[in-house]
Amino acid sequence: MRRSLSRRRLLAASVPRLHETAGADGGESESDAETGTDEGTDSDGSTADRSEPDREGTDQVDDDSVPDAVGPDGSGLVVANAEVLDVADEGYETTVDARLTVENRGRSTYGTVEFRADAYATRPNSAERDSAGFAYDTERFPSGNRFGDGVRRFDVSITFRSRETNVPADVDWYEVDAAVRRAEPV
């Protein structure tokens, strides 16, 4: 049986070249980090007081490097639509089947993408909704079928205890929201 991940797990992404721009001494002092001051920057944000090599180092951008993992905000992957396809009441458990429409608006091609889908119990024509359950879905793309540009559709199933909601097992009574949790470029 697969153990579900904790809702409180934090997603952290690596920021390339961040450690190189922290400063020549290996980082900021504790007081600079807390106050947000930067003695080497003019009030307008320019780098006039820095030496020539320091200015060149801050202006460099390495477009060819691709990080091992990218956070959802920087991936360019957008869940454009989440449609409830079916709701099945199996006595003790209810399963909501949904289709996610995902667009790749970024510049990277991905080999693995992980989504989190949340199901909500609603009432038709009402803005109110109650959280019913969630599921994680990991999609892996083989070398001949990577997720580059364009739109892809993925099916996801969210299973939760039936007693969590007091609504009928009908597609009109459920909504699904989804987000990209992890995206690994190739």
Domain boundaries, the chain: 16-64, 75-185
User: What's the pLDDT tens digit per position in 65-123?
Assistant: 555 555 556 788 999 999 999 999 998 999 999 999 999 998 899 999 999 999 999 99
Distance CA 137, CA 115 (A): 5
Structure confidence at residue 6 (pLDDT): 42
Residues 6+ apart with CB under 8 A from 101: 79, 80, 81, 82, 83, 151, 152, 153
User: What's the pLDDT tens digit per position in 174-184?
Assistant: 999 999 999 99
What residues does 5 pair with on adjacent strands? none
Structure confidence at residue 66 (pLDDT): 53
Q: Could you tell me the pTM of the whole model?
A: 0.61
Amino acid at 94: T
CATH architecture for segment(s) 75-185: Sandwich (2.60)
Half-sphere exposure of 143 (CA within 13 A, CB side): 0
Burial grade of 99 (CB within 10 A; 0-12, 13-18, 19 or more) = middle
Both tokens of residue 48? 């006039």
Residues 6+ apart with CB under 8 A from 145: none
Query: Where is pLDDT greater, at 81 or 8?
Result: 81
Residue 11 banded pLDDT, cuts 50, 70, 90: very low
From 121, 137, 145, select the one nearest 180 (Cα to Cα): 137
Query: Please, are residues 145 and 89 in contact by the beta-carbon 8 Å criterion?
Result: no
Structure confidence at residue 65 (pLDDT): 55
User: What's the pLDDT tens digit per position in 146-168?
Assistant: 999 899 999 999 999 998 888 99
Residue 58 banded pLDDT, cuts 50, 70, 90: very low
pLDDT higher than threshold 50 for residue 45: no
φ/ψ (deg, to 5) at 103? -110, 140
Distance CA 52, CA 37 (A): 21
Structure confidence at residue 149 (pLDDT): 87
Query: Where is pLDDT greater, at 42 or 90?
Result: 90
Structure confidence at residue 81 (pLDDT): 96
Query: Where is pLDDT greater, at 134 or 15?
Result: 134
Residue 63 banded pLDDT, cuts 50, 70, 90: low
pLDDT higher than threshold 60 for residue 54: no
Burial grade of 113 (CB within 10 A; 0-12, 13-18, 19 or more) = buried
Please give the average per-residue pLDDT across 53-57, as a whole number: 48
Exposure letters 67-81 (e unless 16+ CB within 10 A, then b)? eeebbbeebbbbbee
